[in-house]
Amino acid sequence: MPITRQDKEILRLAVPAFGALVAEPLFLLADYAIVGHGLGTVAVGALGVAGTVLATMVNLCVFLAYGTTASVARSTGAGEHGRAMRDGVDGVWLALGIGLGLIALGWPLAPAVVSLFGASPEQAAEAVTYLRISLLGAPGMLVVLAGTGVLRGLQDTVTPLVVAVGSFALNAALNAWFVLVLGWGIAGSAWGTVLAQTLGAVVYVAVVVRGARRRGTPLAPDVAGVRRAGTAGLALFVRTVCLRIVLVVGTVIATRMGESQLAAYAIATQLWTLLAFALDAIAIAGQAITGRTLGAGDADATRAATARMVRWGLWSGVLLGLLVVAARPLLPGLFDADPDVTEQLLAVLWPVAVFQPICGVVFVLDGVLIGAGDQRYLAWAGVWTTLAYLPAALIAGAFGIVALWCALGVWMVARWITLSRRAAGGAWLVTGA
């Protein structure tokens, strides 16, 4: 497949986005390795439970990044740069408000939420400790999402890469110091994450403030604009709720299988997230390019870019699947897994590898439709694909962790069908600002 001008534009956005996206799961894997070496299997399982809760809260708010990317990119494509920055500033204020709300709501509910996973008393106590401390970083996490969306919408994926690598490297260093040197236990891992996330948010705020001043955009919150940003993100919120239901149900089922199964599932989930973020780099390019080309009124360019990105997604998935197979014998040793966890992890890595090509296509189409502002369809598609997953997961729970991961494959196939059908039509190709 020869490299075209279109490919160069995709790569210009996707390569830095890839670096930023994989930085997070790579350093989360470093957290698992640090906790595994320093604190043992119980702490790894607790980190898996608390991490699932935190990821659920943050991902429910991913519309702060995706919705902002789409609106800023569309306004940029239409030449309305002042409006683009206004959308960005409103997104940051919305992120800060939601983050503070999550602290107020999540702190008292932490024990009840952790208990839903059915973890052992020791694991539950560790998970509550990690969750409560990590909640203090929620405003920073969400501001990072909104700031990232602003820059992607402006066709800048390099700055998010720099910030992501810096903050997650700091996170890994602080966690190693707090856990392995100072002996703070799982609380040390949480504090390292909070500090790194907050510093990352400070950087994004500085970048957005500078851009707003350059365009003459007021920095004070515009109530109507903040409300509009929240309303526009509602459909993406529904879509993300469906995604998180799938991942949370899988973790709950794995938890009830036993500590070894939960630890293996937690590690495999982080590996799968790493691969998903790698594939999502093309989807990020899809959001930015689709928003800009539709904003400029060029539907033909949007279709051509979509077809090209789908090919990139498919072959990237094939490559990542082969890499998983090649690295499979080495992965348990990275986490100092005991024999029971190693056996479970080696088995589950096979379906993780097999489903990567389908994931590649799904993530690209998801990003394209988000960039087009087709959130209502994505919400309904999320509902139907989740309904396809739930009975498969409940049945798989009786047959072990490999069957549970194959149920996740059923979900990905359902997403591939719904997104491909939509992309083949023309209802999503709405042009203009």
How far apart CA 137 and CA 195 sit, in angstroms, is 7
How much of the chain exceeds pLDDT 90, in percent?
A: 7
Most confident of 103-112, 115-124, 147-156: 103-112
How far apart CA 74 and CA 234 sit, in angstroms, is 19
Mean pLDDT of the chain: 81
- DSSP single-letter state for residue 117: T
- DSSP single-letter state for residue 184: -
Query: What's the whole-model pTM score?
Result: 0.74
Distances (CA, A) of 36 to 28, 257, 324: 12, 20, 21
pLDDT tens for each residue of 300-332: 888 888 888 888 889 888 998 898 888 877 777
pLDDT confidence of residue 417: 93
DSSP string, 187-236: HHHHHHHHHHHHHHHHHHHHHHHHHHHHHT---S--HHHHHHHHHHTHHH
User: What's CA 210's distance to the chain center, in Å?
Assistant: 27
pLDDT tens for each residue of 103-116: 998 888 888 888 88
pLDDT confidence of residue 23: 65
Mean pLDDT computed over 4-10: 72
pLDDT tens for each residue of 386-425: 999 999 888 887 787 888 888 888 899 999 999 998 988 8
How far apart CA 56 and CA 172 sit, in angstroms, is 21
Tokens of 187: 């609380």
How far apart CA 253 and CA 241 sit, in angstroms, is 18
pLDDT confidence of residue 318: 92
44 pLDDT above the threshold of 70: yes
- Reduce the DSSP state of residue 285 to 3 states and report it: helix
pLDDT band at 240 (very low <50, low <70, confident <90, very high): confident
How far apart CA 226 and CA 258 sit, in angstroms, is 44
pLDDT confidence of residue 337: 62
- Reduce the DSSP state of residue 298 to 3 states and report it: coil
78 pLDDT above the threshold of 90: no
How far apart CA 31 and CA 42 sit, in angstroms, is 14
